[in-house]
Amino acid sequence: MEIFLSDKAFAGIVVAAIEAYHDECIGLLLGYKTPNRIVIEDCIVYQSAKRRPSEVEPIWNREIKIRDIIPKLIHLQPLGYFHSHTQWGSCRAKAELSESDIDTIRPTEVEVIVAVNNGRRSVKWYETRDHGLAGTIGRYHISLAAFYKKKNGEVKQYRISCPYALGFDYAF
């Protein structure tokens, strides 16, 4: 199983994380599933979330409204969420799930974590050892990781496939 991230979804997630930095951001992932792949085509950033440097939470009654209207607007399905982790002082953010992150993932849904840190130097985009993605944009170092919660409650990290991100340095 792999998680394919479109250029539109990649850009939306990264821009949302940088815009909210030093607070966290959250949004809905949209796409579809095939037998061996989850395709994330787009994302919707929650503008009215409760943001703090170490946590973010949607305003649930507004989130319900969004999930209700999605099928009436577009053909894509809600697949899960993304949210950011941010650097706090010298404590660098990691694209890892916290215990509360694990508890809030719904079965059969995806969670993409985007870690935003101050960039120390420019790094070309690459696939990390744990099959996430990392690189720099401007003065920010970004890391992404994707997780999926199975029906039995087991959470597993899956490889992110995003040709746009890996070719990003060459395109710009």
Average pLDDT rounded to a whole number, residues 59-79: 88
User: For residue 16, what pLDDT is reported?
Assistant: 96
Confidence band of 153 (pLDDT split at 50, 70, 90): very high
User: For residue 172, what pLDDT is reported?
Assistant: 56
Average pLDDT rounded to a whole number, residues 127-150: 96
Average pLDDT rounded to a whole number, residues 67-89: 93
Average pLDDT rounded to a whole number, residues 55-81: 85
C-beta of residue 101 within 8 angstroms of C-beta of residue 142: no
Distance CA 113, CA 94 (A): 9
Distances (CA, A) of 131 to 11, 126, 135, 157: 19, 9, 13, 8
Comparing C-alpha atoms, which of 76, 55, 82, 78 is closest to residue 65? 78
Q: Is the pLDDT of residue 43 over 90?
A: yes
Considering the four listed CATH numbers 3.60.15.10, 3.40.140.10, 3.30.420.590, 1.10.10.10, the one that applies to the domain covering 2-171 is 3.40.140.10
- Hey, CA dihedral for 14, 77, 98, 149, is it positive or negative? negative
C-beta of residue 76 within 8 angstroms of C-beta of residue 32: yes
Percent pLDDT > 70 in the chain is 91
